[in-house]
């Protein structure tokens, strides 16, 4: 399996679907689960440690500790998607402002699609076939703009 | 031991000293250690799970996940102290905006003294002698204002 | 009585119900009243001074002075719940940024449930039976996430 | 006496001096004291209730509850001066965002001079002599700009 | 006439009504007009200079220059009411952060009622009868809270 | 004369110098004066109305009403330069968030150079010689980056 | 052609219509296209380089790089219109905070009308007939306020 | 070559050194250049298109368009490092809030080290030897915390 998508709670499913929809289009294998950094920390730790995923995507709102918590348990790339709420700066800053030594790759608020594309870009570094699909995907998007 | 004070990194020591100075004055037993939610997650988990402390105080800056991570490993009260930096709203929001189910008691930016007093207030609920010391402490502070 | 829940105005009832719903589940005795730091300061002062509550929870929006005003009249723990509105940073900062010497334990925006759990955690320091109920409560919540 | 200037703590003296310097120039009688909304609430209440001042000026930083607390004890005009710190939006919002029914007249961050002029403007409504001095004061300021 | 209420545009009428409703209850004479600091600057200047109002209330959103523009043309007190929109910090900061020398008394976002009460407080400094009505008004409000 | 540079106060001279330094390099005729929207509104009005400048540049901090006030008195382009202080969002939002009908062209915080280049770009629409100098100016800047 | 209006995506059409509606009223020739700084960078570059427009208007939300990207390819004036979304400070700051050397003239959030008027003001510097239409346009707007 | 580090200007070198220091320790091949999205857009485009780097790191402040501009010219992963200044939210939001379709992996303010580690994590997906060095690097960092 290539990507493990973890949602902080059921209410993050709306953004999670954007991730999986794009992963499907890019034909990237993935699994999607719910696991909370704060409410199920041990389950999350085991999930991450046992996982053979190449990349993790954490989707969370509020004091969005999930992507950082995933990153604390793995040396593989972790992408964080802040989920919108009443404050918005909370999840954006909780995911971007990681301390030196434990990076998270933050994408924009509710921007599940970009998390998927970013994962594809990482995997395509050594996968020519995926690189081709990725180019196609982005060219389609560019065309959609021009035909707007 | 009553209170376990955990700093996210050496650079938080300046705020940690405010905590311990007030705990000393209030004659509350404590231990102070450094443990990072992101860089030493297992050490932190074991530290919290094995601890017999009644209360935890987490001191951290940036995407300050430490207090929330402590709270994910214990049912005892966790007080969070956001540490100032270049953004400030990052640590304040990362500590206050915890998801429902796992509370952290946030105090103000760099406000280590209030974390100590809050811990004292919690312990004093069933400790008349500590309640007396606490009143004294706060009366002295009030006097200092009036004599300002 | 263990907890006195004070709402700054009728419009805070929506968040107040989250507090009392969780206190009910945790079987913690409480009373809930409306009292405004700005509109009924003396009533508030007398209410707090005469109260035998172990813990106070203040729920308020805008320049949310209520939790701080409660804290100015007691040496017992005060938990503050910021209520959402058009600005949100106003109530969050008015509750977290207390001056040194008079702590308030801030929880997240509209997060009445966390105020209740935090109160339970404080009371459970010396109450094994409540500690048991609290663990149950949090385990249920964790399960809900896993079954999500 | 016309104006009672209240500082939330000694550290607000720098801004308090801007207030009194302008009141001196405008020849307005005043008294200046330190009293904290949070640390000396009863002293503050008595101070305000017994005061024969026509106008109150509250100078405070952080979760600047002082002007609002003064306003809760009087029907006379209260001017609030937010004091700068590490966050700044905290004192500005804590003073401006008062609930309906209990107004505070907020001036800008650290802007003690404007608090004094505003007080003069209020008193000058029925005091032709003060109105004359006020005009002089503001004309001097305008000239200073033009001669800049 | 005692108070001149100026709205920056028709869209501010919703907040203007809060002002006049409270002025009506307090039996304060007023006139309400629309005049824009940016679109009708000369009309605004003449309006203010010719006015015999004791107090001005400016209601405006966005880069809310109206209250400051009024204040630039008079030595009488000017109260500013920021109107909510998509940003909110824009109107709050545009009204509070006036330069030294030209004060505006800022009240909270959309808080037309507080502008009216503040005007009443200013006028009541030398008007015992209005002071009585003002006390009644605020007592009613306090009661409403207690009966909440 | 082509450009009239107006500073809100002497303290804005630091940013004003960036404007005039770039105007000098671009060989654009200008005059620089101090005039405050709030403290010398009539002088400002006359200055703008009598001016034969093609473009106005207003430099101001805090509730930076100056550029908007200039724009209210002319149909020619007005460029606004927000000046930094303790809040920064105040001057940025006071200059950008103008109401529909009265535009100000906002540039970045303290970015006097961009105000000058923007003025040059406007004047160069019908001035081939200036367009040439402008290109040179920007090419030099690009080279400086490459030689960085 | 005088003005080239570029939208970052179809979803910016709502604001684009405000631009073209005002350009129509001012009888200014324009063309409107969709081109994304991020998704169609080369198309954008060619579009700008080949364009004979005197002025460019870029309309974009989020990390609104479009106006800056246009400015990087031309020495003619570029006006940027930030489009509202969930954060708003993102598009405002992405457009205003351009680096020294490459100016963008930022107008307010969603304020397409002001972009059009600003373009008219620039073109009117050397076009007396347009200046007349512009005055009429702004006088009508002022009247609308007075008749409000 | 594995990584191309691009600085938006000379003033970003301080943060660029954090990137290269960590890349050196991780023994990752890289090149570092200065190229501005706004001042040298074509040079930047050619640089990116011709580059055989597997990963790009863009370091920029203010309206930090650099990482997004790089991403618009490549299908390989782009990491963005916001550089601190007077506003800070400008560079953070300009880098995180990319539109759907063109991702940038944002790290924290001035956090050059995390950009380097994140690049290492991406390259280590298919490079066991680098994965080993990465683990060592992160273990050293964890030890440093524990020995703190």
Contact criterion met (CB < 8 Å) for E104 and D103 = no
Average pLDDT over residues B112-133: 97
Average pLDDT over residues F9-33: 97
Q: Does F85 touch chain H (CB under 8 A)?
A: no
- How crowded is residue G135: how many other Cβ atoms within 10 Å of its Cβ? 12
pLDDT at G146 over 80: no
Two tokens, residue F69 = 């006030």
Secondary element (H or E) of residue C115? helix C112-124
Q: How far apart are CA G7 and CA F141, in angstroms?
A: 28
Nearby residues of E79 by Cβ (< 8 Å), 6 or more positions away: D105, E55, E56, E57, E58, E67, E104, E105, E106, E107, E115, E118, E119
What is the Cα B94 distance to its own chain's centre? 15
The beta-carbon neighbor of F75 closest among G100, G101, G134 is G134
- With bands split at pLDDT 50, 70 and 90, how would you rate the model's confidence at G25? very high
Return phi, psi of residue F23, to 5°: -60, -40
pLDDT value for F146: 74
Nearest chain H alpha carbon to B39: H142
Cross-strand partners of A32: A5
pLDDT value for G143: 86
Mutation for F interface: E65, E70, E90, E96, most F CBs within 10 A: E65
| Chain B residues within 8 A of A68 when measuring between CB atoms | 37-38, 63, 65
pLDDT value for E19: 98
Pick from B80, B77, B98: nearest CA to C127: B77
Per DSSP, which regions of chain G are E strands? 3-7, 30-34, 55-60, 78-82, 105-106
Reported residue count of chain F is 148
| Chain A residues within 8 A of G36 when measuring between CB atoms | 142, 145
Q: Does H125 touch chain B (CB under 8 A)?
A: no
Average pLDDT over residues H83-87: 98
| Percentage of residues in chain H having pLDDT higher than 90 | 92
Q: How far apart are CA H37 and CA H45, in angstroms?
A: 9
Q: What is the ipTM of this complex?
A: 0.97
Average pLDDT over residues F47-73: 98
pLDDT value for A119: 98
End-to-end alpha carbon distance in chain B: 36
The pLDDT tens digits for D73-130 are 999 999 999 999 999 999 999 999 999 999 999 999 999 999 999 999 999 998 999 9
Q: How far apart are CA A126 and CA H73, in angstroms?
A: 19
Which alpha helices (DSSP H) does B11-127 contain, by range? Answer: 13-25, 41-50, 66-72, 89-96, 112-123
The pLDDT tens digits for E45-91 are 999 999 999 999 999 999 999 999 999 999 999 999 999 999 999 99
CA distances from H141 to D32, D134, H146 (A): 53, 63, 9
Pick from B96, B100, B47: nearest CA to B67: B96
- With bands split at pLDDT 50, 70 and 90, how would you rate the model's confidence at F142? confident
Lowest mean pLDDT among A66-70, A144-148, C123-127, E126-130: A144-148
Average pLDDT over residues B131-139: 95
The pLDDT tens digits for A45-83 are 999 999 999 999 999 999 999 999 999 999 999 999 999
Average pLDDT over residues E123-141: 94
pLDDT value for A142: 85
Q: How far apart are CA B146 and CA D47, in angstroms?
A: 12
pLDDT at H118 over 80: yes
Average pLDDT over residues A12-28: 98
End-to-end alpha carbon distance in chain D: 36
Q: Does G148 touch chain E (CB under 8 A)?
A: yes
- With bands split at pLDDT 50, 70 and 90, how would you rate the model's confidence at C147? confident
Q: Does C7 touch chain D (CB under 8 A)?
A: no
Average pLDDT over residues F34-60: 97
- In the block, tokens 């037309």 appear at E112
- Packing angle, helices B41-50 and A41-50, rounded to 10: 150
Cβ atoms of residues H113 and H5 within 8 Å: no
């Amino acid at each position: 399996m290539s990507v493990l998508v973890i949602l902080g709670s059921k209410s993050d499913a709306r953004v999670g679907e954007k991730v999986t929809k794009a992963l499907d289009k890019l034909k990237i294998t993935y699994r999607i689960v719910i696991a909370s950094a704060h409410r199920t920390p041990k389950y999350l730790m085991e999930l991450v440690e046992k996982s053979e995923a190449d990349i993790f995507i954490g989707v969370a709102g509020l004091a969005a500790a999930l992507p950082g918590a995933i990153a604390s348990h793995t040396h593989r790339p972790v992408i964080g998607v802040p989920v919108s709420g009443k404050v918005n700066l909370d999840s954006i800053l909780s995911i971007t402002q990681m301390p030196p030594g434990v990076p998270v790759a933050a994408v924009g608020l509710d921007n599940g699609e970009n998390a998927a594309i970013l994962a594809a870009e990482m995997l395509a570094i050594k996968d020519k076939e995926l690189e081709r699909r990725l180019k196609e995907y982005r060219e389609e998007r560019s065309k959609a703009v021009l035909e707007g």
